[in-house]
Amino acid sequence: MERDNHQEGVAEGVKICDPPAESNPPADTLATSLSLLGNHMFPDPVERNYGTTVNREEPVDSLLSDVSAEEPSLNAESHSNQVTKLETEETESPECQNNVATQPSDRGAQDAATDSDQGDSGEFVVTMLAKAKLEEQGLGMKGRSSPLLEAGTEEYPAFMSHRDEDVTADSWRQHRKHVFVLSEAGKPIYSRYGSEEALSSTMGVMMALVSFVQSGDNIIRSVYSEENTVVFLQKGPLVLVCVSSSRQSERQLRGELLYVYYQIISMLTQASISRIFEHKKNYDLRRLLAGSEKILDGLLNLVDSDPSFLLAAVHCLPLASSLRDSLSQILQKAITPNLVFSILIARNQLLTIVQEKTVIEDTRLEPADVHLLLNLIGASSAFQAGEIWTPICLPLFNPDCYFYAYISYLDPPECTVCLLLLSTDKEAFYSVAECKRKIEEAMVAQNSLSLIAKVQSYSVSQVGVSDLRHFMYKPFDVPDNYRQLTQFTSPEMEAPYSSEEEKMRLLDLYRYMHSRIHSTSRPLKLIYHVAERETLLAWVTSKFELYTCFSPLVTKACAITAITKLLRWIKKEEDRLFIRYPPKYSTTPNPSKSSRGGKSDQQDSTDNGFLSLL
Amino acid sequence: MPEVSKMKKPDVKVVLLGDMNVGKTSLLHRYTERKFKDTISTVGGAFFLKQWGPYNISIWDTAGREQFHGLGSMYCRGAAAVILTYDVTNWQSLAELEERFLSLTDTANHDCIYAVVGNKADLTDPNAQLYQDSNVAPEDQTECEEERPEPQVLSACPTPPASPASLSGSVLHKQVAPEDAVAFYGRILRYKGLDEKSSLPAEKMCFETSAKTGYNVDTLFEALFDLVLPSILRKRNENQESPTVDLEECRGASNKRARSSCC
Ligand SMILES: Nc1nc2c(ncn2[C@@H]2O[C@H](COP(=O)(O)OP(=O)(O)OP(=O)(O)O)[C@@H](O)[C@H]2O)c(=O)[nH]1
Ligand SMILES: [Mg+2]
């Protein structure tokens, strides 16, 4: 069972079912949507230009208010009859779903008045499946706003978070990528923008879609419109939905949803989530996730801005191998029973990672788990003070168990170098904190901190290939990399990619290349792509995956020569660019105590105690 | 645990408990950094060492979220003082102390002292709002000045903040009166099976504070530290008698109790 879980990992995302050919959804997806939404939802091309008017049509409202009845707490008084209906919906959803599909118009009359401001955002979700936004100028990704830019816009005062956004506003609709998480009962759990409460009817609509398709023994995977791709991912009792205008492939978007799911698992464990919902189908999971929204927000911002997620590989800071080795040895010596991972991080990139021996024989640390850890640290400025001790689950390692993470910065007040120690023992704080003291002492003795402070990422100019502007290189075959963390290397993004906007544009181009090269219908080995302002070449072999960006007008032949040079340079530098020989230590005398152990999950998740609070 | 030795061993442990968002992290931050700044909801627990005269006081700032409920008794193990924090504008936060947090203190020392702290007093009490933290770091003073007119209630109350002249604090209704806290303190003593007469009086152990303005914050921490001194001295004596005793001392014994009592 263990391995099976992992197959679904982002790295092996291939398993995820074929996306329909772009802008040409397969008949069944379209058909189901059509029957559910009524033909109004897919207006003919002429209507499309007035997309926004479409959503005023009666059937839409009716569908919405129908679904919003699933949220009795919000509309309780006026909808008592429908609240009763809710009960039946849970148990006999196929029948009720038929209701939704076949009787839209007569409900319309009945419920037209119930369209509240919540309805408006729900309306959006429905209409965005079909509506065409007024044309943006230019082609492709040019006109799209980057999430980084959005974060800085003056639309909202700085102290107002995205959670306070007005979900009826156009600006809300125009976010490049929405992410929603809801429970099978249609209860909102998380929304990237806007509060979950305000979006409960929107989420109801989504759940209606999911369960309607389910009632026909199908699974809804995606809906395409001209502007947006809507991707659904169901994981256990959770449904995750992404509405994106980013032009990413369905598979990429689904991979991102999977990260969101994993981040939730990392906080609660899969076992307890299933148990909670077995116990109480319409449990409000926000009770347990309250306060974690910033961690999910941070993850989504990282997913948009850090290619590690796209490549499912970790980025380590380039470091002279002698320095890296000495840091590893420091970690290797500071151990205590049940310590399983020691990780040193600088500026959110790995310096080194040391693992417990028995653990490493058993499995390897997956990049996605490292990403979640890095995000947790990055999203929590609070970690900068004091020493943190917190339970955390590494979902790809074992989705049902907690580790206990010790997190502390080694260089206050700058707080750039962070130590992360993972133990399987909840009570081990003081002995793990003692490891930190040893590490601190050794680092002082070896002057490590000032050496680390000097470390920088590298510039593409060091490669010495003219016209090469940027690249991302992910090796598969490093001999020592076998069963090691998948890594990639990439230079700093420099001019002309120094503004946030341009960075995002380059990343979007990479995402496009990535989706082409990994297309399930027509996978490619090599793509030479002449874009408007640059030329890109992506190449996948059995040994590596490489994305390069050149100045425009570089010919294919030139690019290939340049790449040969680049590969030679990487080969020469690989000891510096990658963690090559990750050391191990042995702290667990009794391997069955490891978090991997089959039985320990029970104990662990009940130990964390919140089940008793249900 | 042979390794636990070299660490500058804390003499005594103080734990901050209370529902999420009541301002535990902000209180500690105000006390240690003399600042009020944006926080994020605490994950797990954060451990701080505070030098108090010749003594090392360890302070655990715990997460109030239910998600971390199970860890509470671990953070409380062997505590000499527990600060039970609520938000004066939120009745539920006091109720939660009784329902969810009090039982976590079962693992604390038998002579542990309890403080009941109503934070965010600046929102309801003009004195607390106009209070000036005399120890504010110079560069922070201005920041504070600017901040003052804007109450931190934006999510609860999206209306524009009142002008500095009219006290914005009066906008918020005070939900917990000092008497409620005193009554709760009495129930804590009863829960612990302590005699009211021989225990510290409620007037001494119930506080209203503002992490935002600094009102009563030093008073709170300093009063507590002074009160735990006997505990420190006793502990030092014990340590002289049996040098192997350390922070983990009562782990084995209290483990079972903690488990059974938290559910
Ligand atoms: N007005 C006012 N706001 C406060 C005060 N103390 C904290 N806050 C605000 O309350 C919110 C929560 O503060 P935190 O200190 O993070 O709360 P916490 O108790 O540590 O919460 P958890 O870590 O989730 O358990 C923040 O927005 C603070 O700015 C106060 O004294 N007055
Ligand atoms: Mg906190």
**Closest ligand to the CA of B18:** 1
Kindly give the distance from the C-alpha atom of residue B23 to the centroid of ligand 2, in angstroms, as a whole number: 7
Give residues (CB < 6 A) around ligand 1. Answer: A 291; B 18, 20-26, 39, 41-42, 63-65, 119-120, 122-123, 151-152, 210-212
Whether A32 has a pLDDT exceeding 60, the answer reads no
Q: Locate A269 and state its tokens.
A: 């464990």
CA distance A434 to chain B (A): 6
Kindly give the distance from the C-alpha atom of residue B48 to the centroid of ligand 2, in angstroms, as a whole number: 13
Q: Which residue has the higher pLDDT, A391 or B163?
A: A391
* Candidate from A42-46, A573-577, B63-67 with smallest mean pLDDT: A42-46
CA distance B128 to chain A (A): 23
Longest dimension (CA), chain A: 79
- How far apart are the C-alpha atoms of A245 and A228, rounded to whole Å? 5
* Candidate from A83-97, A431-445, A519-533, A578-592 with smallest mean pLDDT: A83-97
How does residue A129 score in pLDDT terms, banded at 50, 70 and 90?
Answer: very low
Give, for ligand 1, the residue of B152, B213, B215 to mutate: max count of ligand atoms closer than 8 Å to Cβ.
Answer: B152
Please name the residue of chain B whose CA is at the shortest distance from the CA of residue A376.
Answer: B43
Contact residues on chain B for A380, CB-CB shorter than 8 A:
40, 43
Closest CA to A368 of A301, A302, A312: A312
Q: What is the pLDDT of residue A124?
A: 52
Which class in CATH covers the domain with range A116-305?
alpha beta
* Closest C-alpha residue for ligand 1 atom 16: B39
Helix-helix angle A27-37:A93-102, to 10 degrees? 70
Over pLDDT 70: what percentage of chain A? 66
Question: Which of B61, B66, B158 has the CB atom closest to A613's CB atom?
Answer: B66
The answer to whether the A116-305 and A314-456 domains have the same CATH topology is yes
Per the CB < 8 A criterion, the answer to whether A428 and A609 are in contact is: no
Give, for ligand 1, the residue of B21, B68, B88 to mutate: max count of ligand atoms closer than 8 Å to Cβ.
Answer: B21
Interface contact flag, B74 A426, Cβ < 8 Å? yes
Q: What is the pLDDT of residue A491?
A: 96
Bridge partners for A179 per DSSP: A242
Q: What is the pLDDT of residue A314?
A: 93
Q: Which ligand 1 atom sits closest to the C-alpha of B211?
A: 31
The HSE-up count of residue B136 (CA atoms within 13 Å, CB side) is 20
Which class in CATH covers the domain with range A314-456?
alpha beta
Report how many helices (DSSP H) and strands (DSSP E) chain B contains, helices first: 9, 6
**Closest ligand to the CA of B147:** 1
Q: Locate A221 and state its tokens.
A: 């995977």
Whether B239 has a pLDDT exceeding 90, the answer reads no
Interface contact flag, A288 B48, Cβ < 8 Å? no
- How far apart are the C-alpha atoms of A513 and A506, rounded to whole Å? 11
- How far apart are the C-alpha atoms of A111 and B102, rounded to whole Å? 48
Q: What is the pLDDT of residue B241?
A: 63
Interface contact flag, A613 B100, Cβ < 8 Å? yes
B2 to chain A, any CB pair closer than 8 A? The answer is no
Per the CB < 8 A criterion, the answer to whether B221 and B150 are in contact is: no
Question: Which of A379, A386, A606 has the CB atom closest to B61's CB atom?
Answer: A386
Kindly give the distance from the C-alpha atom of residue A288 to the centroid of ligand 1, in angstroms, as a whole number: 18
Q: What is the pLDDT of residue A321?
A: 92
Extents of the domains making up chain A: 116-305, 314-456
| Residue range A263-284, pLDDT digits in tens | 999 999 999 999 999 999 889 8
Mean pLDDT of chain A: 73
Q: What is the pLDDT of residue A10?
A: 33
Q: Locate A28 and state its tokens.
A: 């069944």
Contact residues on chain B for A336, CB-CB shorter than 8 A:
1, 3
What is the phi/psi pair of residue B132, to 5°?
-110, 125
How does residue B94 score in pLDDT terms, banded at 50, 70 and 90?
Answer: very high
Bridge partners for A406 per DSSP: A389, A421
How does residue B242 score in pLDDT terms, banded at 50, 70 and 90?
Answer: low
Pairing between β-strand B81-87 and β-strand B12-18 as defined by DSSP bridges? parallel
Whether B165 has a pLDDT exceeding 80, the answer reads no
Q: Locate B113 and state its tokens.
A: 């002292």
Q: What is the pLDDT of residue A88?
A: 26
Distance of CA A331 to CAs A62, A369, A452, A453, Å? 62, 20, 15, 18
CA distance A257 to chain B (A): 22
Q: Which of B43, B143, B153, B261 to mutate to test the interface with A (most CBs of A within 10 A)?
A: B43
Mean pLDDT of chain B: 78
- How far apart are the C-alpha atoms of B114 and B80, rounded to whole Å? 9
- How far apart are the C-alpha atoms of B154 and B177, rounded to whole Å? 23
- How far apart are the C-alpha atoms of A8 and A16, rounded to whole Å? 8
Interface contact flag, B65 A288, Cβ < 8 Å? yes
- Helices marked H in A363-499 — which ranges? 367-379, 429-445, 448-454
Pairing between β-strand A177-183 and β-strand A188-191 as defined by DSSP bridges? antiparallel
| Residue range B200-221, pLDDT digits in tens | 999 999 999 999 999 999 999 9
Whether A303 has a pLDDT exceeding 80, the answer reads yes
Enter the DSSP assignment of A316: B
Question: Which of A164, A290, A607 has the CB atom closest to B70's CB atom?
Answer: A607
Q: What is the pLDDT of residue A80?
A: 35
Q: How far does Cα B122 stand from its chain's mean position?
A: 17
Whether A395 has a pLDDT exceeding 50, the answer reads yes
Query: Cα angle at A172 between A169 and A177, to 5 degrees?
Result: 160
Q: What is the pLDDT of residue B197?
A: 86
Q: What is the predicted ipTM? A: 0.79
The HSE-up count of residue B112 (CA atoms within 13 Å, CB side) is 26
| Residue range B125-139, pLDDT digits in tens | 888 888 887 766 554
Whether A415 has a pLDDT exceeding 70, the answer reads yes
Interface contact flag, A385 B158, Cβ < 8 Å? no
Average pLDDT over residues A200-208: 79
3-state DSSP call for residue A442?
helix
Q: Which residue has the higher pLDDT, A452 or A4?
A: A452
Q: What is the pLDDT of residue B195?
A: 87
B3 to chain A, any CB pair closer than 8 A? The answer is yes
Average pLDDT over residues A532-541: 95
How does residue A38 score in pLDDT terms, banded at 50, 70 and 90?
Answer: very low
Q: Which residue has the higher pLDDT, B118 or A16?
A: B118
* Candidate from A4-18, A575-589, B110-124 with smallest mean pLDDT: A4-18
Please name the residue of chain A whose CA is at the shortest distance from the CA of residue B151.
Answer: A159
- Helices marked H in A153-292 — which ranges? 170-173, 200-215, 250-268, 270-279, 286-289
What is the phi/psi pair of residue A513, to 5°?
-60, -45
B69 to chain A, any CB pair closer than 8 A? The answer is yes
B40 to chain A, any CB pair closer than 8 A? The answer is yes
Q: What is the pLDDT of residue B146?
A: 41
- How far apart are the C-alpha atoms of A27 and A455, rounded to whole Å? 54
Length of chain B, please? 263
3-state DSSP call for residue B110?
coil
State which residues have CB under 5 angstroms from ligand 2, the bound ion.
B 24-25, 42
* Closest C-alpha residue for ligand 1 atom 11: B21
Distant-in-sequence contacts of A28-34, Cβ < 8 A, 24+ apart: A28/A218, A29/A220, A29/A221, A29/A222, A29/A223, A29/A224, A32/A212, A32/A213, A32/A216, A32/A218, A32/A220, A33/A129, A33/A209, A33/A223
Q: Which ligand 1 atom sits closest to the C-alpha of B40?
A: 16
* Candidate from A29-33, A584-588, B96-100, B144-148 with smallest mean pLDDT: A29-33
Q: What is the pLDDT of residue A482?
A: 55
How does residue A590 score in pLDDT terms, banded at 50, 70 and 90?
Answer: low
Contact residues on chain A for B247, CB-CB shorter than 8 A:
430
Whether B258 has a pLDDT exceeding 90, the answer reads no
Interface contact flag, A294 B41, Cβ < 8 Å? yes
* Candidate from A136-145, A180-189, A481-490, A545-554 with smallest mean pLDDT: A136-145
Q: Which residue has the higher pLDDT, A251 or A365?
A: A251
Q: Locate A37 and state its tokens.
A: 């939404």
Domain B12-259 has CATH 3.40.50.300: yes
CA distance A158 to chain B (A): 12
Contact residues on chain B for A379, CB-CB shorter than 8 A:
40
Interface contact flag, A610 B69, Cβ < 8 Å? yes
Contact residues on chain A for B67, CB-CB shorter than 8 A:
267-268, 288-289, 291-292, 608, 610
Q: Which residue has the higher pLDDT, A219 or A84?
A: A219
- How far apart are the C-alpha atoms of A171 and A160, rounded to whole Å? 15
> HEC profile for A451-474?
HHHHCCCCCHHHHCCCCEEEEEEE
Average pLDDT over residues A348-353: 91
Pairing between β-strand A468-475 and β-strand A544-550 as defined by DSSP bridges? antiparallel
Interface contact flag, A609 B39, Cβ < 8 Å? no
The HSE-up count of residue A70 (CA atoms within 13 Å, CB side) is 33
Q: Which of A268, A388, A438 to mutate to test the interface with B (most CBs of B within 10 A)?
A: A388
How does residue A74 score in pLDDT terms, banded at 50, 70 and 90?
Answer: very low
Bridge partners for A488 per DSSP: A315
* Contacts with B2 (C-beta within 8 Å, 6 or more apart), sequence order: none
Q: Locate A35 and state its tokens.
A: 């029957």
Q: What proportions of chain B, in percent to the nearest 5, are helix, strand and coil?
A: 45, 15, 40
Q: How many CB pairs under 8 A join A and B?
A: 128
Whether B256 has a pLDDT exceeding 60, the answer reads no
- How far apart are the C-alpha atoms of A579 and B71, rounded to whole Å? 35
